[in-house]
Amino acid sequence: MPFNGDIQQLAEEFESRTPQEILQWAFAEFGDDIAMSSSFQTQSMPLLHMATRLKPDLRIFFLDTGYHFWESLIFLVRVASDWQLNVVDLNRDSRWDVFVRQNLRNLPLDDPNLCCYIHKVQPMQKAVAGLRAWITGIRRDQTDVRAQAKILEVQEDGLVKVNPLLNWTKADVAAYIEAHNLPSHPLTAKGYRSIGCAPCTVAVGAGDSDRAGRWAGRGKTECGLHTEMFRQKEYVVS
């Protein structure tokens, strides 16, 4: 059932609401037809903590790309077990298997956009296809693209995207983590402040932005989940 409310008006109203209030509205509105995606890094912890305290059985989508740091996978298992999370692993479409095996080492470096489409965009498209709403943890202070986002957005297929932390800052995230004694990804202490796949993530310096270590030197700051790429049903060479 498509959402019949005034998305624009609600999005404006939610600019002054807390993330918890936005989540409470979303769970009341969409019931079980909602899920959340998470990368399970340190900055993911506040939203995971808030959302699953309000809805313990919430489905948490994790994109299992096959390129993650082993530390990320161990951290995921630890948090999912300690918090009894309902984690759903998302994998690439099997039609890409032969191609990926043949290009396993070079794909992330030679064509990171295609790699992200195969391992992130397409699996998430499939996962959210039967839902009414999708919760993400993006923030406006992360990238120029995300700075243009709204707390509530509706996609062409009617899917409502809910971004409860959009107005939060890096400092807000840190304060919540400290206040609730939330766990930290082991690579955070080594300078990895934004953690993605191992081939495309490096540690950053104190004066760098958190996402400076993602696809460093490649002119790329987004995997495609929050860009026009997510609307593509097939990969389009840019």
223 catalytic per annotation = yes
Question: Which residue among the candidates 116, 197, 200, 223 is catalytic per the annotation?
Answer: 223
* Virtual torsion, Cα 92, 98, 101, 107, nearest 10 deg: -70
- Structural domain of 143: 7-231
Q: Coil, strand, or helix at residue 73? A: helix
Flag whether 144 is in a domain: yes
pTM for the model = 0.93
CATH number at residue 122: 3.40.50.620
Average pLDDT over residues 143-171: 93
H or E segment and range at residue 90: strand 86-90
Across the range 194-211, mean pLDDT stands at 90
Convert the pLDDT of each residue in 98-149 to its tens digit: 999 999 889 999 999 999 999 999 999 999 999 999 999 999 999 888 999 9
Q: Is the pLDDT of residue 12 over 60?
A: yes
What is the distance between the alpha carbons of residues 113 and 206, in angstroms, rounded to a whole number?
A: 28
Confidence of residue 186 (pLDDT cuts 50, 70, 90): very high
Task: Give domain status of residue 237, yes or no.
Answer: no
Total domain count, the chain = 1
Predicted confidence (pLDDT) per residue in 34-76, tens digit = 999 999 999 999 999 999 999 999 999 999 999 999 999 999 9
Q: Are strands 160-162 and 86-90 parallel, antiparallel or unpaired?
A: unpaired
List the structure tokens of 65: 């790309």
Asked whether residue 236 is domain-assigned, the answer is: no
More confident residue, 140 or 156: 140
Cα separation, 162 vs 47, in Å, equals: 12
Inter-CA distances, 173 with 24, 74, 155, 204, 222, Å: 19, 22, 27, 18, 20
**How long a stretch of residues is the chain?**
238
- Per residue in 14-45, pLDDT tens? 999 999 999 999 999 999 999 999 999 999 99
Residue 1 maps to a domain: no
